[in-house]
Amino acid sequence: QETGNAEVRFMQLDLASLRSVRAFASAFLRQEPHLHLLINNAGVSAGGTTEDGFSLSFQVNHLGHFLLTQLLLERLQSCAPSRIVIVASRAHCAGRLHPDTLGRPPPGLLSTFQDYCDSKLANVLHARELATRLQGTQVTCYAVHPGFVNTELFRHMPLWLKPLFLPLAWLFFRDAAEGAQTSLHCATHEGLERFSGRYFDDCCLQEPWPLARDDRLARALWEASERLVGLGGAAGSPSA
């Protein structure tokens, strides 16, 4: 109603539930014959564990999107040329990924922040490996840093930290429309196909942190993610 666009359709999807992701993908594929663009935009920075047994931030920010992308990939290929945009963050530079402990909350006092950074590193590596696997299909993908955006992403931060953080957010962070610009650039700008798998910041091609350019880590993350979400083998769990 707010957009005035009668073509907008709402469909329920909870990335903190792999069951919900599968139900959404099944419903979408039944109802919609075309899919040309997928923007994996949702994100949280919060502690806790999902119904699937994974840390909340890592499942919502990476595992849920990974499963969703895989379930919709055949439709994207059949409608090619098409694009996938994965919203990452400059916070990936603080990420640390260990495929054998993937999905478990990191130890330490800054566990929630570290989990968020780990998920953002996973986003950049996901785009990198996905591009490799999609070569020759006319489906391209891009990881983007939207900038520091004043949304509800950090609504779960500790109460004592909010009086310090919120004034900074209002003064220096971008609003949601400004924060969407790099995602829209990668979704619509002509001639980006040769940059599939790369990382964009402020609508420009950028080099991510060195760990985000590690092809062996990208493959290991992919294979571990497949196991954990139940693709290509038995359904996984944090201890699988």
Residue 116 resides in a domain: yes
**Structural domain count of the chain:** 1
Residue 25 resides in a domain: no
Residue 19 resides in a domain: no
Q: Which of 116, 142, 173, 200 is catalytic?
A: 116
pTM over 0.85: yes
Residue 26 resides in a domain: no
Residue 20 resides in a domain: no
142 as an active site residue: the answer is: no
According to DSSP, residue 59 is labeled: I
Residue 60 resides in a domain: yes
Contacting residues for 132 by C-beta, under 8 A, at least 6 apart: 197, 215, 218
Share of the chain above pLDDT 90, in %: 71
Residue 70 resides in a domain: yes
The pLDDT value given to residue 201: 93
Q: What beta strand segments (E) does 92-155 contain?
A: 139-145
Task: Note the pLDDT tens digit of each residue in 35-62.
Answer: 999 999 998 888 899 999 999 999 999 9
With CA atoms as reference, report the closest residue to 121 among 48, 54, 208.
Answer: 208
Distance, CA of 169 to CA of 175 (rounded, Å): 9
Least confident range of 83-92, 110-119, 174-183: 174-183
The CATH number of the domain where 86 resides is what?
3.40.50.720
Alpha carbon separation from 75 to 37, 119, 151 (Å, rounded): 10, 26, 31
The pLDDT value given to residue 160: 47
Residue 106 resides in a domain: yes
Dihedral of the CA atoms 83, 87, 92, 97 (nearest 10)?
Answer: -70
Task: Note the pLDDT tens digit of each residue in 168-199.
Answer: 554 455 566 776 889 999 999 999 999 999 99
Higher per-residue confidence, 220 vs 153: 220
The pLDDT value given to residue 222: 97
Assess contact for 95 and 89: CB atoms under 8 A: no
State which residues form the domain around 43: 35-229
Least confident range of 31-45, 74-88, 123-137, 223-237: 223-237
